[in-house]
Every structure is written in structure tokens, then in C-alpha cells.
Amino acid sequence: MIRKLLYGVALALSAAAPALADNWPCEVALCMSDPRGARTESACRPPVDRALREWARGRSVPACRTETGDIALRRTIIHWDDCPTGTRMTAGESRWAALGKFGTGTIPSIAQTPVLVAGAGFNASLYDTDIPRACVSGQSQDVFMTLNQDDTASTVTVYERLVLLPRQNKVRVELWLNGALLSTAKGI
């Protein structure tokens, strides 16, 4: 799979090879397609660093022009990793969650202090916060309880399995050729 991917990127870039020295976006695209990391090769550091500076200034990196089409580089921020296998992200916009034990009674016993979590509809870009993402599985039940000193009650969803993923700000760069995703570089 990786060989196929690198072959596809190399093939697309081969048309730009004569102008590669003057076409730094093509150098960036080639470096970003390296599965060992975009900055592994010393020759890749200057063009990749230039691209990172452009993105940090809010600018885009120009497309790499080839005979087979344009390779676009798109930078995004990943706020959380994907949920572990066997779990799913909570569905609410933003809510309280807790790990619990389910028995024969009607109310599960809470095994930890409830935490505010980010669900599927939570827009992380609107908040400067460290709210974790909740990945859950198994049974769940809503419990109405007091969470703070002013006796304000909130609904807490108690889950059989709860995995909290800390918020991060990882950079991901996607390489697109004629509207089709070629590869994704993470953690640059």
C-alpha cells in the first residue's frame, strides 16, 4: 500500500521534475508523502519548514503543478485522536460523562467523578479549553445529579466503558491530486 502510494506521488511529481528546484510546493508534496516523516531527509527540511511558516501566517501553500494535474496541500488541525477500536464518540454536543457499574438496580453506581466531555457536535475551534473527547461503549444511562457547590443539577451519562482522549493540536497535511486524496501526513 505504501509503495503504491509513494509510486503514485512520484509519478505525479515526475512531470514537474525539471522545474522541481524552483517549485517548492512539489518538493513539499514529495517530502510529505514519505511514510518515515516529512522531515526525515535533510533536503526536505527547508521546503517543509517554509510550508509550515506559510501556514502559521495563515497563508496557503500553492499547488504543485504537474502534467497529470495539480497536487494541493491542505493543512488541518486535529484536536483529538480517533476513538479506540470498540468504542464510539459520544453523540451530544457537550455533556457530562462518568464511568459506572451496572447491576440489577435501576441506577448505576458511579465509579469516578463526572467530567465535562466533547461529543460529536462539539466545535473545538470555538473554545480555548482542555475538554477531553469521550469514547464510550456498552450500556449507558442518564442520571440527574448535583455537580457543583451551588447545587445546580445536571444530567450525567454513565457509561459501562469510558475512554477520555485529551485535547491536542496536531497538524495534519493532506495531499490531493485532482480532487482525490493521495496521502495524509500527521504530526509534522
Judged by DSSP in three states, 91 sits in coil
Phi, psi of 121 (to 5 degrees): -90, 5
Residue 86 is predicted with a pLDDT of: 92
Indicate if the alpha-carbon torsion angle 33, 44, 170, 128 is positive or negative: negative
The full set of domain ranges for the chain reads 2-79+169-186, 88-165
CA 117/CA 134 separation, integer angstroms: 6
Residues 16-39 have pLDDT tens digits of: 444 444 689 999 999 988 888 888
Question: Which cell numbers in the block locate residue 19?
Answer: 522545474
Q: Is the pLDDT of residue 15 over 60?
A: no
> Whole-model pTM above 0.75?
no
Q: Is the pLDDT of residue 46 over 90?
A: yes
Encoded amino acid at 99, one letter: L
Q: Is the pLDDT of residue 42 over 60?
A: yes
